Amino acid sequence: VLIRATIADTSRSGDSTSNPAHLSIVEDGGLLIEDGRIAARGVYSAIRDVAPHAPVTDWRGDWVLPGFVDTHVHLPQMPVLGRLGWSLLEWLEHAALPEEARMADVAHAAAVAARFVDALASHGTTTASVFGAHFAPAVASLFEAADRAGIRVAAGLVVSDRRLRDDLHTSPQVALRDCTDLIRRFHERRRLLYSVTPRFALSTSEAMLEVCQALLSEYPTVRFQTHLNEQRAEIDEVARLFPWSSDYLHVYERYGLTGRRSIMAHDVHVTASELERLAASGTSVSHCPSSNGALGSGIFPFRRHRLAGVHVALGTDVGGGTGFGMMKEALQAYLMQRVADDPTVLSPADLLYLSTLAGAEALGLADEIGNFEVGKAADFVCLAPPAGGVLAQVLDESDDLTHQLAALFTLAGQESVREVRVANDIVYQRPVRHDAA
Ligand code: GUN
Ligand code: ZN
């Protein structure tokens, strides 16, 4: 099939994370897709010439971007969206953890998983790194729902054995058994990946961190995710619980949990030494700006991460964050960096890079997804802002493509998502409205 639309993506100009991403926008662009992969890309008329018989999907005037990659999102937390006003530890106790406890009910968990996967796809997210639940059957439901829907998911059983609430705790022995079972059933099954997921150091014993380490060495391609340096009270408690540690990151390092397979969410309050070690180990940081604002965590030191050469991608952190939209999340990153004490101006290229290719790199999937390089899987979102709305009018009035892309990041929400595909399989289509005229 040959897609005809305004086509935008980013690529990396060098191998250093501090290099800005290169932005490509082709106004009347063509994407030739064969067997779910990009076969050719460029100006529509040129692609048409090399594939004169390919059926054309005519989305002239619409925008096609690589599918968004959300590097940090929690399966059980959609109902917690909007519970504003608390600090992290209060919010966990009063809002998030009671909701997490409901995932013990298998039927409830299956319904949540189906709604969650729909929410991702309908926002244009084609790949996500997901904190599953504290209950293995609920995590299995997520993998099954994602597999049915066709989206890419790296997810794991959230493991904790202290300081949450009794009904969310497991033991290192049971965690090892449950994780092993889930890895064997789901890891690398079609578009699924397993990610070892201790909730955070605060809720895991040393024996539990050893289990995580054992899983990573037993299964060399499973991923790892957790939280790091989100709020001061959390960091102080971690220092108390691990008196031998020199800082928060040290706790994870001690158990071999950093490296190219690892994504650490937040990292708002990070030391210079931690930044150096994150960069040296190739550990990725998931920046979750709306959550950092909503829970009062602070302003992410973006420039310091960049200067240190730490790889940064973007996460919505539903439900600490404010929704599933990755464009909104990227805008929030822009807004907060604008007013940071150590400010940086994120460009439209940065916003697109952070919400797509950066996430693919964080998950070790950059050979497969993240942009429209020939040979990659055709994961994309088609954006068509509703006619007559503010965004459609802004786009109509502008003849500057970079401004138009920035306007999409400023104004496009779920209503602008027309269609979403993974390896060219349709995973979401906007319902056609039959308005009474
Ligand atoms: N730290 C431990 N658990 C959580 C969570 O669910 N959300 C956030 N934002 N931080 C956490
Ligand atoms: Zn989180």
In angstroms, the CA 91 to CA 99 distance is 11
Nearest CA among 33, 7, 2 for reference residue 383: 7
In angstroms, the CA 338 to CA 178 distance is 44
Expressed in angstroms, the distance from the first to the final Cα of the chain is 34
* pLDDT per residue rounded down to tens, the chain (437 residues): 999 999 999 998 655 555 678 999 999 999 999 999 999 999 999 999 999 999 999 999 999 999 999 999 999 999 999 999 999 999 999 999 999 999 999 999 999 999 999 999 999 999 999 999 999 999 999 999 999 999 999 999 999 999 999 999 999 999 999 999 999 999 999 999 999 999 999 999 999 999 999 999 999 999 999 999 999 999 999 999 999 999 999 999 999 999 999 999 999 999 999 999 999 999 999 999 999 999 999 999 999 999 999 999 999 999 999 999 999 999 999 999 999 999 999 999 999 999 999 999 999 999 999 999 999 999 999 999 999 999 999 999 999 999 999 999 999 999 999 999 999 999 999 998 765 44
219 half-sphere exposure, CB direction, 13 A CA radius:
22
Instruction: Give the residue carrying structure tokens 């539990």.
Output: 208
318 CB near ligand 1 (under 6 Å) = no
Query: DSSP label at 166?
Result: G
Ligand 1: residue of 74, 77, 286 to mutate (most ligand atoms within 8 A of CB) is 74
Please classify residue 331 by burial: count the beta carbons closer than 10 Å to its beta carbon, then call 0-12 exposed, 13-18 middle and 19+ buried: buried
Ligand 1: residue of 71, 77, 88 to mutate (most ligand atoms within 8 A of CB) is 88
Q: Which residues contact 244 (CB under 8 A, 6 or more apart)?
A: none
**Counts of helices then strands in the chain (DSSP H, E):** 17, 16
Q: CB–CB of 197/226 below 8 Å?
A: yes
Which atom of ligand 1 is nearest the CA belonging to 295? 9
Nearest CA to ligand 1 atom 3: 199
In angstroms, the CA 47 to CA 39 distance is 10
SS3 282: coil
Which atom of ligand 1 is nearest the CA belonging to 100? 6
Ligand 1: residue of 90, 159, 165, 227 to mutate (most ligand atoms within 8 A of CB) is 227
From the CA of 80, how far away is ligand 2's center (Å)?
12
Instruction: Give the residue carrying structure tokens 């994961």.
Output: 379
Instruction: Give the residue carrying structure tokens 């006003």.
Output: 85
Which atom of ligand 1 is nearest the CA belonging to 230? 10
Cα-to-chain-centroid distance, residue 64: 19
Query: DSSP label at 169?
Result: -
Which string of DSSP letters, residue by residue, matches 286-298?
Answer: EE-HHHHHHTT--
From the CA of 196, how far away is ligand 1's center (Å)?
15
248 CB near ligand 1 (under 6 Å) = no
Phi/psi at 57 (nearest 5 deg)?
A: -95, 110
pTM higher than 0.95: yes
Which atom of ligand 1 is nearest the CA belonging to 200? 2
Q: CB–CB of 376/369 below 8 Å?
A: yes
Instruction: Give the residue carrying structure tokens 């790296």.
Output: 154
Which string of DSSP letters, residue by residue, matches 332-401?
Answer: HHHHHHHTSSS-----HHHHHHHHTHHHHHHTT-TTTSSS--TTSB--EEEE-PPTTSHHHHHHHH---H
How many CB atoms within 10 Å of residue 233? 13
